[in-house]
Amino acid sequence: MSRLVRFAACCVGLLALGSSPALAARKHLTRASSTPASTSASLEAELARLRSDPSVAADSASIIETLTSGSMKGMTWSRLAEFTDTIGPRLCGSETLETAVDYMVKQLQADGLENVHAEQTSLPLWHRGSESVTLLEPRVANLNMLGLGGSIGTQQYGPEGLTAEVLVVASFDELKARASEAKGKIVAFNQFCDWVNKPVDCYGESVSYRYSSWQAVSAVGGLASLVRSVAAFSINSPHTGVTSQDASPSAPSIPTAALTIEDAAMLARMAARNQTIRINLKMEAKMVQTDAVGHNVVAEIKGSEKPDEVVIVSGHLDSWDVGVGAMDDGGGALISWSVLSVLRRLNLRPKRTIRLVMWSCEEMGGIGAGQYFTAHKAEVPSMSMVAESDMGVFNPYGLQFTGNAAATAIMTQIGTLLRSINGSAVVGGGDGEDIAPWMQAGVPGASLANDNQRYFWVHHSGGDRMEVLDPAEVDRCAAVWAVHAYNVANLNELLPRDK
């Protein structure tokens, strides 16, 4: 749930910034802080170096050229395509995710990177199994659906599944007002949000229905919960995602699944006509185990002067079991790999270590990343920045960053090095499920700023395939990611922070 709260706040800030042509209107959201005189002097010296040292501009230009028009042009997309074509979807805790870990370790070693290894984690393993929703009244029709990650199934009702009348509501408030009608029924939520005008922000408004609708339904005696897919666009395509596993005596676990936008709207129209709606729900879903063996994947470019000080670039390796996780989040993981690749090819070794981490089990709540932080939290004082790309690798316009005013000034200056590819903006809202523990401990955080208005068209659906990504846009995303990571790792001091 913490991810949903953080994400909603992030999305509000991102939406307010508008689309990329209006860079001048973007707000720089920073943590306010006072700046001591000694820090101010150090800041001015760092800014002066970034502006005037010819090697800063030259190294950054080489990174951009190599990734966008040189020897690595198209490589990030091609690597991602080979990975997703070969491995496919990578559900948390699954054998396929472990196959992906092995694949990545071998690829990173073959790329000549340093300290390549996998760090063990303990992960949940949820099984979807066969599932269906069949409309029985007022007509017979199969409805497209996807069970929500972590849901229980309908096994208690036997092989024929659960058949019940349906109550359709538009909100939690309506369910509360009609609680007496819900007992013994399947409750379908047709929560509406204006995705056209709020293509990102609507996720923060709508995702609570995916996450906790079943708890509200169970608490009033409902038998199952069906939710309208949390999506900006649909061609009758359902979208999955994690749901709460927090059952209680007053709200025992019940099955929960997502319907397509079209089918949820259809049920609402039927209900508005006072038509009786009956549905059969079959789900084999179950939590297989809570302690499956998993791994985070790690690789580094060791720092030349301060190897124990670190900049993390990252994305998550796991995905849902539909689509192939190309956009969410193979793209974020692969542009992070390209950061290290391009530096090795150019023989650029910054003062600090740049560490790639491909996280496991972000989709079920950042579980692998949380365990990584617990194991590495002694590095908080020496961690200069943590960055995670998990909101698409579409046309980039810069970086989302969360840090104090001094750190933001440095990042803004680094951003000017990306003007040649229109990626120079530094805006607020840097965040990510996997880097959140570091940020909560005071480490500055960053995420990729890109034109992701269509991200939620295919998010957590069968449409998350390679075809949604453009090779040239992915190259530019890698360049933005690499220029920022390299220059932060090459600063004279750690990025300033308040804690």
Average the pLDDT over 373-385 and give the result: 98
Q: Is residue 76 within 8 Å of 396, Cβ to Cβ?
A: no
* Amino acid code (one letter) for 478: A
For residue 28, pLDDT over 60 is answered with no
86 Rama class: left (phi>0) / alpha (psi -120 to 50) / beta: alpha
The answer to whether the bond into 263 is cis (omega within 30° of 0) is no
* Chain segment 381-403, per-residue pLDDT in tens: 999 999 999 999 999 999 999 99
* Unique residue bearing structure tokens 């005189």: 37
Q: What would the two tokens of residue 340 be?
A: 């290290």
In the chain, CATH 3.40.630.10 sits at 2-126+290-489
- pLDDT of the residue at 200: 85
302 CB contacts (<8 Å, ≥6 apart)? 114, 115, 349, 353
- pLDDT of the residue at 37: 55
For residue 249, pLDDT over 80 is answered with yes
∠ CA 151-155-160 to the nearest 5 degrees? 120
For residue 46, pLDDT over 70 is answered with yes
Percent of the chain at pLDDT above 90? 90
Catalytic residue among 131, 205, 309, 362: 362
Comparing 199 with 414, which gets the higher pLDDT? 414
- pLDDT of the residue at 38: 59
Return d(Cα 52, Cα 283) in angstroms, integer: 63
Return d(Cα 499, Cα 415) in angstroms, integer: 24
Return d(Cα 59, Cα 53) in angstroms, integer: 10
The string of DSSP letters for 111-173 reads TT-EEEEEEEEEEEEEE--SEEEEEEESS-EEEPEEEPBT---SGGG-TT-EEEEEEEESSHH
In terms of DSSP bridges, do strands 396-402 and 445-450 run parallel, antiparallel, or are they unpaired?
A: antiparallel
- pLDDT of the residue at 325: 98
* Chain segment 285-328, per-residue pLDDT in tens: 999 999 999 999 999 999 999 999 999 999 999 999 999 999 99
Q: What would the two tokens of residue 311 be?
A: 């900049």
* Amino acid code (one letter) for 423: G
Give the largest CA-CA distance in the chain: 74
Average the pLDDT over 162-176 and give the result: 98
Return d(Cα 5, Cα 8) in angstroms, integer: 5
pTM equals 0.92
Return d(Cα 304, Cα 352) in angstroms, integer: 6
- pLDDT of the residue at 36: 54
| SS3 at position 213 | helix
The string of DSSP letters for 413-478 reads HHHGGGGGGT--EEES----TTTHHHHHTT--EEEEEE--TTHHHHTTSTT-SGGGS-HHHHHHHH
Q: What would the two tokens of residue 300 be?
A: 């580094």
Q: Is residue 434 within 8 Å of 366, Cβ to Cβ?
A: yes
For residue 20, pLDDT over 90 is answered with no
For residue 97, pLDDT over 80 is answered with yes
Phi and psi torsions of 469, nearest 5°: -110, 140
Q: What would the two tokens of residue 88 be?
A: 């496919």
The string of DSSP letters for 260-271 reads -HHHHHHHHHHH
Among 401, 387, 467, which Cα is nearest to 430's?
A: 401
The strand ranges marked E within 176-268 are: 186-189, 224-228, 256-259
How would residue 243 be classed by pLDDT, with cut points 50, 70 and 90? very high
* Least confident among 35-39, 177-181, 277-281: 35-39
* Least confident among 44-48, 115-119, 200-204: 200-204
For 472, other C-beta atoms within 10 Å of its C-beta total 14
For residue 10, pLDDT over 80 is answered with no
Active site residue 433: no
Q: Is residue 452 within 8 Å of 394, Cβ to Cβ?
A: yes
**Class (C level, CATH) for 2-126+290-489:** alpha beta
The burial of 119, by beta-carbon neighbours within 10 Å (0-12 exposed, 13-18 middle, 19 or more buried), is given as: middle
* Chain segment 328-364, per-residue pLDDT in tens: 999 999 999 999 999 999 999 999 999 999 999 999 9
How would residue 439 be classed by pLDDT, with cut points 50, 70 and 90? very high
Q: What is the CATH number of domain 129-284?
A: 3.50.30.30
pLDDT, the chain, mean: 93
Average the pLDDT over 226-251 and give the result: 96
Percent of the chain at pLDDT above 70? 92
The burial of 32, by beta-carbon neighbours within 10 Å (0-12 exposed, 13-18 middle, 19 or more buried), is given as: exposed
How would residue 155 be classed by pLDDT, with cut points 50, 70 and 90? very high
In the chain, CATH 3.50.30.30 sits at 129-284
- pLDDT of the residue at 485: 98
The answer to whether the bond into 138 is cis (omega within 30° of 0) is yes
Q: What would the two tokens of residue 272 be?
A: 């508005």
For residue 32, pLDDT over 70 is answered with no
Q: What would the two tokens of residue 218 be?
A: 């169970």
